[in-house]
Structure 1
């Protein structure tokens, strides 16, 4: 049984041997000689980190077209780095890379057989840019210095976005769309949207910021950086709550809960036996009590939470349910490979299935969106990717916990972010917007950057020494 699990999670995959016997062996490093004579490429890693930093620094403030151009630049630079790579073949490839490549292959076939091939091709190009951005980040984030710097860039950008959002709450902001049921008592409530133009999108963008800033409190040394991290957490959390995005709240609670559990697991390793046993139940009880008190005592929060459970009586719920029913019919007609990736393909096909008056730009559920775009094969591949990501993250957290390395806090944040974004994604698809999609692939790349080539078959002493040397080199 254990062997089957290891094979399913690709624990002992011989990546180095595979890469040396694959066609990639003849492509990687093809222009290595040119790079040795190039002055600019001496700074290749810094240039790559700079490109990624520009994406996260500008994403919430510029148009999607500009973000697309930046992603294209990142994709081109990743290709240049790959062709001129001086490292050992296979050292940068992880099981997550292979599963991302597999998903891209499924999306490519889905595009080829799509009934709206030209529209699906546009979505395929966008998906390809995101996946190449993941590949570049997975390379850059292997450096602990770049890892911390890029997270800080995102947190600073998110802080600016949050401050503007809080200003809208205190001084008012005109709603750019009907975001609250007009028959609800919250119809006049301000839902902040900052630079993102949509409160649900803002909540999805800020969700990773709340998790990363909480992790930064433990990862950053000295009290001044810790105070900064605490301030960022308060500002980002407050702004996220004031979006009144129910999906954002669900994601925030789910992600924060996972991070809290991982922190308890991490910190109690040196606690006395009593506290190792009872810390988790105590933390769970206090957390549940605080959430319950907040929901009961704060009327807007109470009414917004209650609207989640009223079914079709809430107009937003009713809208989503009608869209989901239509999307399920789309999946039934093309169950295996779907209609092809991208919102353009969706917009071409959905009107044939929609119920009158329920126009939609997406499936309003990530799982349904993946199923309608790449079919059940794509869903299976995506779930496999999640399984391997969580499995490898947990193994690496255990290793870093034994080493007492602060880098483990970023990895725990990545896991919590994945859970939070997936929870939000069950009822919305704002994470397909570039401001959010880049953050999703940041979390996947962050986990991939911690991948160790040390086989699990090594003895604990050998594994400890190998990992200690690896962390010292970062």
Structure 2
């Protein structure tokens, strides 16, 4: 079973033989001589980190069009760095699955019933994947990794602080986000600079996971105090969004972080705590959640609405969209309709129930199946499994080396769990403000892949 798992997760993957026979790989380093004489390219990685930080800094405050334009610039910069690179290959199992995923998207475009609309979505997806490639390269430097994470956390603190302020001082509700027949119909749901509480939730998962990681990585009283403050403010803001999917994602994030953190510290614990710490922590967490549901009426009403079925207007809306998405999958089962919301908007009206228009299928798993068929969904799930497996493997290596960078990998996996948890019932993380964080977390894990001198991991 173990060899089969290793093959499935590409644990024994080595790019060297494949790259040696690749004609495309031969163009890497084509501008190597120019790099040696270029002042800017001598600082290629720090400059890349600066360019990435700009999209994080301005992402919550600018239009998606401007974000797309900046992602195009980052893609061009990655191409320049790659052509000027003479180092060892940066191809990891995660990179390989990302390329397979991109290839499946290309096939979906070619076979799409709305090729022009699907091509638009394919271009957007390509920009996100090129952002992943650049990030995975830059994050190989621990110093640049810490710098970029600090930028993410500081901007996240600004966004979440404004969200908390909205809760206490009130803010206009831009849409009917609560069931109008519910006792919470007039409740405030914060959205900060993102304009939508569910979108804000997705945006905060990376900040919450990385701020928890910062509590363990950052040294000194003031940095740790700042990290704790970030955890409290980010978590409070997520709670004030009132997003049920966000709350599900938050529980997935915390449980994942607790499990992996236990693995990190297990060997240094006394025998009693090795046996009982994890059950006590998870049991205590479950107890706190149950007490909050029983004692606090707003939480109880919001949680119970999850199980209200079609009696809750939001549930009913999603169920109608899900049923339509399933019918779309039945008609385009293998390769889907093509990537992107433009393709979805072109096809969905044929299947939608009256008065239930939607921009997506309200589930990232259904969305992948709709856009790229069951084949695309399988590749997406394979990518997640390989990424998490590599994250745990590299975390274990860094733990043995007593390298705190491994905590960032725990945070990355936990942040992904949060996004996937909310993604069960929503697709707002396909928006660029959130999508870049998904691929940043994947890149953070890919960047720690270790090559041995002989070309084997």
Normalising by the smaller structure, the TM-score range is: over 0.9
- Corresponding residue of 2:419: 421
SS of 2:193's partner is: helix
Query: Do 1:259 and 1:413's aligned partners in 2 also have CA atoms closer than 8 Å?
Result: yes
For residues 222 and 16 of structure 1, the distance between their equivalents in structure 2, rounded to whole angstroms, comes to 42
For residues 106 and 141 of structure 1, the distance between their equivalents in structure 2, rounded to whole angstroms, comes to 27
SS of 1:26's partner is: helix
- Corresponding residue of 1:472: none
Are positions 1:407 and 2:405 aligned together?
Answer: yes
Alignment of 1:23-34 (within 5 A): 23-34=23-34
Cα deviation, residue 268, structure 1: 2.5
Query: Do 1:72 and 1:129's aligned partners in 2 also have CA atoms closer than 8 Å?
Result: yes
Are positions 1:146 and 2:167 aligned together?
Answer: no
- Corresponding residue of 1:51: 51
- Corresponding residue of 2:129: 131
- Corresponding residue of 1:466: none
Provide runs of 4+ in structure 1 moved above 3 Å. 454-458
Task: Tell me which of 287, 308, 311 is aligned to 1:289.
Answer: 287
- Corresponding residue of 1:37: 37
SS of 1:195's partner is: coil
For residues 138 and 100 of structure 2, the distance between their equivalents in structure 1, rounded to whole angstroms, comes to 22
How many residues align? The count is 457
More displaced stretch, 383-392 vs 314-323: 383-392
Query: Do 1:123 and 1:342's aligned partners in 2 also have CA atoms closer than 8 Å?
Result: yes
- Corresponding residue of 2:95: 97
Q: CA separation of 1:170/1:377 partners in 2, compared to 1, >3 Å: closer, same or farther?
A: same
Cα deviation, residue 86, structure 1: 2.3
Q: What are the superposed Cα offsets for residues 84-128 of structure 1, whole Å, 9 maximum, x if unpaired?
A: 11213x2x1111111100110000011111111111110000000
Q: TM-score under structure 2 normalisation? A: 0.98
Query: Do 1:141 and 1:446's aligned partners in 2 also have CA atoms closer than 8 Å?
Result: yes
Q: What are the superposed Cα offsets for residues 363-402 of structure 1, whole Å, 9 maximum, x if unpaired?
A: 0000000000000110111111111111111111211222
Query: Do 2:16 and 2:455's aligned partners in 1 also have CA atoms closer than 8 Å?
Result: no
Q: What are the superposed Cα offsets for residues 420-445 of structure 1, whole Å, 9 maximum, x if unpaired?
A: 11110010000100010000001110
More displaced stretch, 52-61 vs 284-293: 284-293
Task: Tell me which of 169, 176, 180 is aligned to 2:167.
Answer: 169
- Corresponding residue of 1:330: 328
- Corresponding residue of 2:13: 13
Q: CA separation of 1:274/1:187 partners in 2, compared to 1, >3 Å: closer, same or farther?
A: same
Alignment of 1:221-236 (within 5 A): 221-236=219-234
- Corresponding residue of 1:394: 392
SS of 1:196's partner is: coil
Q: What are the superposed Cα offsets for residues 134-173 of structure 1, whole Å, 9 maximum, x if unpaired?
A: 0000000001111111111111111111111111111111
Any gaps of 5 or more consecutive residues in structure 1? Answer: 464-474
Cα deviation, residue 311, structure 1: 0.7
- Corresponding residue of 2:106: 108
Cα deviation, residue 456, structure 1: 12
Cα deviation, residue 12, structure 1: 1.0
Cα deviation, residue 5, structure 1: 1.1
Cα deviation, residue 54, structure 1: 0.5
Query: Do 2:14 and 2:455's aligned partners in 1 also have CA atoms closer than 8 Å?
Result: no
Task: Tell me which of 119, 122, 127 is aligned to 2:120.
Answer: 122
- Corresponding residue of 2:63: 63
State the Cα RMSD in Å.
1.4
Query: Do 1:12 and 1:455's aligned partners in 2 also have CA atoms closer than 8 Å?
Result: no
For residues 453 and 300 of structure 2, the distance between their equivalents in structure 1, rounded to whole angstroms, comes to 50
Q: What are the superposed Cα offsets for residues 333-381 of structure 1, whole Å, 9 maximum, x if unpaired?
A: 0100000000000000000000011000000000000000000110111
- Corresponding residue of 2:188: 190
Q: What are the superposed Cα offsets for residues 216-257 of structure 1, whole Å, 9 maximum, x if unpaired?
A: 000111111000000000000000000000001100111111
Q: TM-score under structure 1 normalisation? A: 0.95
For residues 228 and 448 of structure 2, the distance between their equivalents in structure 1, rounded to whole angstroms, comes to 25
- Corresponding residue of 1:309: 307
